[in-house]
Structure 1
Amino acid sequence: MKNVLFVASEAVPFIKTGGLADVVGSLPKYFDKTKYDVRVIIPKYLCMADKYKESLTFKTSFYMDLAWRTQYVGILETEYDGVKIYFIDNEYYLGGDKPYGEMFTDVEKFAFFSKAALSCLPLLEFRPDIIHCHDWQTGLVPVYLKDRFYKDPFFYGIKTIMTIHNLKFQGIWDLNKTRDITGLSMYYFTPDKLEAYGDANLLKGGLVYADIITTVSNTYASEIKTKFYGERLDGLINARSNCLRGIINGIDYVDYNPETDNYIKKKYSIKNFRKQKIKNKLALQEELGLEVNSKKFMIGIVSRLTDQKGFDLIAYVMDELCSLDIQLVVLGTGDEKYENMFRHFDWKYFDKVSANIFYSEEMSHKIYASCDAFLMPSLFEPCGLSQLMSLRYGTVPIVRETGGLKDTVEAYNEYENTGTGFSFANYNAHEMLDTIRYAMHIYYNKKRDWNKIIDRGMAKDFSWKSSAKEYESLYDDMIG
């Protein structure tokens, strides 16, 4: 039996701010339980829902030094979907109404969490062969493992993986203050270790000291070696490229299943979508006050409204886009300028544009099930989950060829009749608009071909099962 411990700052259903929580909460369920014992450790935030806090049982507690401070560490546990989850408790660090705050408090909070996650292991009757760390919040785990814990026989031979979910977020803070917070010696704060451009960088520490680095798609693994995508760590990524692997994320095929989804008006499958999917579209048009017309080309967007997601491209051509024979349904929150832009166009083209500036799980499912196409023109996208959900629901993705979007959406080729969506290469608003026009042309004039694109997309398997197999293979390579 191979023992693996996921260490992360969030996991569904307990606490979620983004896609990281989906990975940490869903992936462990899909490992072969006869060969891999995969467990998870996350912080016990005060802002967690009461129903989850009440499901936890107290395991043990102790006091731990963090530099010159002594801090209480409580350990609680539960089992969820057959996976054992541990929680680190400390109300001083983990209070507040949200999991993340200002960087100076977060650096101390996650230094505490990283050290506590290692310190508690001898008390858990669980010795991991591999500690799988996720994002900058756990970047100090491989560092502490090589520093404070290497003399303890319990920790001999434990391997570490550092997974980058988004290289943009690195945990950067003042070098001397970080040294004081972490209790690490000056030895670690040099340019070949945690120091970067005059500051301390927690993710960099993890990338330097982990045995293996993974990221969430093959293309993103290549992209982060370049200056444009490398977020000033491309030199280090290149230096460690022999240890770098890209493994695509998946989605939960139970939660996202048009045959069983209770959020949607009419359930459907790959066999009957031609007749049934359209009923969801008509219901959504009516609900949102759009023109009720089964033939209208309806484009969906479910996203954070930020520059990273390509909304500057959409803003640039929004009037031209609205002049086309389409409907546009937007769901999400983000930068005020984009929220207000969509509100304005909702007012200006009230029967064509529906701006839903909030987030709703139910509405997101309705959009995936109802729209004809799904627009995702990201500047960069480490993996992306929305395009996987849209493929699952037979909604054809229109994406920019970057990161996981490039790896998961095969561009339609009308001469060979292949492909699962439409894509464009350059970060250019009119190239995006031309791709939308091309998709419209196929939708309106080559309906049989359009339905075959949906067929191929719905037949793809982007469930966690295939990702889990790749991680199993990686774990086997690491520990034999």
Structure 2
Amino acid sequence: MKKILFVSSEAVPFIKTGGLADVAGTLPKSFNKNEFDVRVVIPKYRAIPEHYRNQMRYRTHFYMDFAGENRYVGVMELEWGGITFYFIDNEYYFYGDKPYEDGVWDLEKFAYFSKAALSILPLIDFQPDVVHCHDWQTGLVPVYLKTDFCRGDFFARMKAVMTIHNLKFQGTWNPKDIMNITGLPGYLFTPDKLEAYKDANYLKGGLVYADWITTVSPTYAEEIKMPFYGEGLNGLLCARSGQLSGILNGIDYDEYNPETDQALPCNYNAINFRKVKVKNKLALQAELGLEQNEHKFMIGLVSRLTDQKGLDLVAYMMDQICTEDTQLVVLGTGDSKYENMFRHFAWKYPERVSANIFYSDERSHKIYGSCDAFLMPSLFEPCGLSQLMSLRYGTVPIVRETGGLRDTVQPYNEYESTGTGFSFANYNAHEMMDIINYAKHIYYDKKREWNKIIDRAMAADFSWNMSARRYEDLYRML
């Protein structure tokens, strides 16, 4: 039996701010249980809902030397969905209202978590073959594993895998403070190890010391070797390209299933969507106060409202997007300039634009299950999960060809009658608008072709099972 430990700062269903939580919480369920024993460790945040905290059972506690003091480390345990989750308990570090609070405090908190995640292993009697770390918050795990912890037999043979979910976030601060916090020796803070551009960099440490690096799509694995996408670490990623691979994220096909989704007024499948899905559309139009008209082309957009998501292109083209025959439904929060821009157009075109400037899981499911198309014009997108959900629900994605979007959405070809969505290549507002108009043309004038795109989209398989096989191959190799 091969033993794997996932180390992550968040995991569904306990705590979630983004796609990282979906990976850490749902991927472990998809491994072959006869060959792999996969467990997960995350911090025990106060922000975890009480009904989960009440189910956790105490496993052990001890004191660990950290930041020049003896720090308490409690270990709680809970089995969920057939997977054992461990929670590192320390109220000093994890008592905030939300998991991330920015600045040097987060760096201290996750350095503590990284060291504790390794320190608990002998005491819970779990000796993983592979420690699989996710994003900068766990970047110090491979560093501690190969320096402080490598002396004893218990840790000597463990391999470390580092997964980049978004290279933009790296965990940086001045080396002097980080040295004091982490207790790591000064010789590690050099440009070939943890130092980058005069800062200590957690993610870089993980990338230098990991035995293997993965990222969340094959295209993103290539893109991050270039300066534009590399966020200053492209040189290191080129140097390590022999140990770098892209494995596509998936989604939980039980949770995202139009046939059983309880958020939808009417459930449907790949056979009856032509008749049933339009009822969801009319229900959503009524709920949002839009004009109830099944013939309007309805575009959904569920996203963090930030520059990365290509919303400057959308802002530039809003009047053209919101023409007479189109409705736009937006859900999400983010930069105030985009929040206010969508509010403004909802005021200007109340029959056509609905701006939902908050996040609601239920409302997002309704958008996937009601809209005709889904817009994702991202500047960069390591993997993206929204387009996978759209394909699953037969909501045709319109995306820019970058990262995981390029790997998962096959552009429509009218001559061969192939493709699962529409895509454009250059980061250009007019090019985006052209492809939206082309999609509308197919929707209005070639309805049979449109329905065939949906047939192919709903037949595509981006469940976790595909990705889990790739990770299993990687673990066997290591």
Give TM-score, length-normalised by structure 2.
Answer: 0.99
- Map 1:61-460 to 2 at 5 A: 61-323=61-323, 325-460=325-460
- 1:118-164, CA deviations, whole angstroms, 9 ceiling, x for partnerless residues? 11100111100000000000000000011111111101110000000
Alignment partner, residue 43 of structure 1: 43
Q: Partner amino acid for 1:396?
A: V
- 1:229-252, CA deviations, whole angstroms, 9 ceiling, x for partnerless residues? 000000000000000010000001
- 1:384-437, CA deviations, whole angstroms, 9 ceiling, x for partnerless residues? 000000000000000000000000000000000000000000000000000000
Distance 1:372 1:321 in 2: 14
Q: Partner amino acid for 2:86?
A: Y
Q: Are 1:476 and 2:470 matched, yes or no?
A: no
Q: Partner amino acid for 2:400?
A: R
Distance 2:24 2:469 in 1: 15
Question: Is the Cα contact below 8 Å between 1:79 and 1:85 reproduced in 2?
Answer: yes
Distance 1:238 1:110 in 2: 27
Shift of 1:291: 1.1
- 1:172-220, CA deviations, whole angstroms, 9 ceiling, x for partnerless residues? 0111100110001111000000000001000000000000000000000
Percent of pairs with identical residues? 70
- 1:215-274, CA deviations, whole angstroms, 9 ceiling, x for partnerless residues? 000000000000000000000000000000100000010110000011101100001111
Q: Are 1:461 and 2:458 matched, yes or no?
A: no
Shift of 1:323: 2.6
Q: Partner amino acid for 1:230?
A: G
Distance 2:99 2:177 in 1: 21
Distance 1:309 1:51 in 2: 34
Question: Is the Cα contact below 8 Å between 1:250 and 1:467 reproduced in 2?
Answer: yes
Q: Are 1:14 and 2:4 matched, yes or no?
A: no
Shift of 1:166: 0.2
Shift of 1:68: 1.5
Distance 1:21 1:103 in 2: 21
Deviates more, 1:200-209 or 1:358-367: 358-367
Distance 2:204 2:165 in 1: 14
SS at match of 2:227: coil
Distance 1:274 1:380 in 2: 33
Distance 2:357 2:69 in 1: 44
Q: Partner amino acid for 2:363?
A: M
User: Hey, which bits of structure 1, 4+ residues long, moved more than 2 A?
Assistant: none
Distance 1:102 1:380 in 2: 23
SS at match of 2:230: coil
SS at match of 1:21: helix
Shift of 1:102: 2.2
Listed as ranges, the gaps of 5+ residues in structure 1 are none
Question: Is the Cα contact below 8 Å between 1:258 and 1:269 reproduced in 2?
Answer: yes
Question: Is the Cα contact below 8 Å between 1:6 and 1:39 reproduced in 2?
Answer: yes
Distance 1:197 1:125 in 2: 40
Q: Partner amino acid for 1:452?
A: K
- 1:16-47, CA deviations, whole angstroms, 9 ceiling, x for partnerless residues? 11110010000000101000000000000112
Shift of 1:98: 0.7
Q: Partner amino acid for 2:63?
A: Y
SS at match of 1:279: helix
Listed as ranges, the gaps of 5+ residues in structure 2 are none
Question: Is the Cα contact below 8 Å between 1:2 and 1:36 reproduced in 2?
Answer: yes
SS at match of 1:34: coil
SS at match of 2:381: coil
Shift of 1:324: 5.1
Distance 2:220 2:394 in 1: 25
SS at match of 1:414: coil
Q: Partner amino acid for 1:150?
A: C
SS at match of 1:3: strand
Shift of 1:13: 0.7
Q: Partner amino acid for 1:83?
A: I
Distance 1:6 1:332 in 2: 29
Please give the root-mean-square deviation of Cα atoms over the aligned residues, in Å.
0.7
SS at match of 1:128: coil
Question: Is the Cα contact below 8 Å between 1:67 and 1:184 reproduced in 2?
Answer: no
Give TM-score, length-normalised by structure 1.
Answer: 0.99
- 1:419-467, CA deviations, whole angstroms, 9 ceiling, x for partnerless residues? 0000000000000000000000000000000000000000001011111
SS at match of 1:354: strand
